[in-house]
Structure 1
Amino acid sequence: MRGVAVDKQGRCSHYNSQRDVVANRCATCGTWWACYRCHDELADHPFGRMPLGELAAMCGVCGHEMTYAQYSARPQCPGCGHPFNPGCSLHAHLYFEVD
């Protein structure tokens, strides 16, 4: 997972609470990023939003990959149960083709 000052569970310099462990895949480059702000700082292209049916979110704790539907259906990882930050839903339009 790429980003700025990323720890072993995917927290970065922009989002680093206990629950900030979800990485998102950029549709343009196919790379997993800690957040869109990390992508904006390090990549040479805009963040490409992922189609809803593709694996687009990953738990930084256990590596479980999810589609948007799987990720948004639960407040925690379906693989390991680690809680996700509920505030991340405010950024769904940046990562996924939801609109």
Structure 2
Amino acid sequence: MIIHGHEVKGSVLDSETRCVHYHKKIDRIAIKFYCCNTYYPCYECHEEHGCGKHKVWPKEQFDKKAILCGACGYELTIHEYLHCRSNCPNCQASFNPGCNLHRHLYFEVEG
């Protein structure tokens, strides 16, 4: 599905990047996976439809744009995303704070 000019793969349900796995109102980001340079709404979508070679973003590349706000289409750098307090810095749309529980699946972080 094309969302704000970006292809988002996986089990996408709507134009704000919600998927069959995460579809609450605040579930509105997609993550560009390091291993395949492709946006997916979540790690489960990547497991089901992705490249099969899962790799997390290394810390030295946290300045790369890898998170797509489903509300406005703004692309956040990883550093921006990790420090945004679950709100888009461009449009202030709320993101699901529970995504922090899964950040180790996307980004190189300590334990």
Select which of 95, 99, 105 maps to 1:88.
99
Q: Name 1:43's counterpart in structure 2.
A: 50
Could you tell me the TM-score, scaled by structure 2's length? 0.82
- Give the Å deviation of 1:63: 1.1
2: distance between equivalents of 1:31 and 1:55?
Answer: 12
Could you tell me the TM-score, scaled by structure 1's length? 0.91
49-58 or 3-12: which moved more?
Answer: 49-58
Identity %: 40
Contact 1:40/1:46 (<8 A) preserved = no
- Give the Å deviation of 1:47: 2.6
21-30 or 48-57: which moved more?
Answer: 48-57
2: distance between equivalents of 1:20 and 1:47?
Answer: 22
Contact 1:19/1:83 (<8 A) preserved = yes
1: distance between equivalents of 2:10 and 2:90?
Answer: 23
Matches within 5 A, 1:17-36: 17-36=24-43
Q: Name 1:59's counterpart in structure 2.
A: 69
More strand by share: 2
Q: Name 2:5's counterpart in structure 1.
A: none
- Structure 2, unmatched stretches of 5+, are 1-7
Letter in 2 for 1:83: S
1: distance between equivalents of 2:20 and 2:11?
Answer: 6
- Structure 1, unmatched stretches of 5+, are none
